[in-house]
Amino acid sequence: MGSFLDTLQRFCLGAAASSPPPTPPPPRVVRLDCQKPRPGWEPRYQRLLVIDDLPRYTQDILETLRVFYEEASLTIHVAHTFADSLAAFKEGDIQLVILDSDLNDPEGSGEDLLKAFKSQEPGVVVLANSSEQRYNDLLLQAGATAALAKEQRKLRRWLTVNGWQRKEGGPSV
């Protein structure tokens, strides 16, 4: 039997006080394969990394990317932890990162990941993605390109301006 303090803690904090934190889902790679490509155009970023410690946000981002790039083929790495994010970045030849600015991981923060990515690949494009502006501001100061604030409309707007490029040798306007 537990002590009086253990019982009081469970009573005050609920069962979660004695439960370990939930295990994040494993990293994965999602391939979007297009059957009908957009003539003369290709996605500017074909290898992406989506990072968030809350899987529901990565699902929202994946759905936005799937709809926006329905005429393209992409490889999207999805990670939920600091270590998985570093590993995916190293192995994936990543061009665009959508990074949870307030990543809640004892191994490191979103800012730590941004600095690691930029030191390995200075030209990588990183989009800060937190609902709290102060975390987005930290990443913008550290070199992120833009802030999305967990709003899919901002991601769609950014992709509309930056997401496509003309293919080499493609038709002119």
pLDDT at position 8 is: 47
| pLDDT for 34 | 79
pLDDT tens-digit series, residues 155-169: 999 999 999 999 886
By C-alpha distance, which of 68, 65, 77 is closest to 38?
A: 68
pLDDT of the residue at 20: 58
- Domains present along the chain, CATH in parentheses: 26-163 (3.40.50.2300)
Burial of 116 (0-12, 13-18, 19+ CB in 10 A): middle
Which stretches in the chain have pLDDT values below 70? 1-21, 169-173
pLDDT value for 21? 61
Q: For residue 51, how many other CB atoms are within 10 A of its CB? A: 31
Helix (H, G, I), strand (E, B) or coil at 148: coil
Q: Rounded CA gap, 162 and 143, in Å?
A: 17
- List Cα–Cα distances, 85 to 27, 103, 114, in angstroms: 8, 11, 10
Taking the C-alpha atoms of residue 122 and residue 130, their distance in angstroms, rounded to an integer, is: 22
- According to the model, what pLDDT value does residue 92 have? 80
- The model's pTM is 0.83
Pairing relation of β-strands 28-32 and 146-147?
Answer: unpaired
CA–CA distance, 28 with 148 (Å, rounded to integer): 22
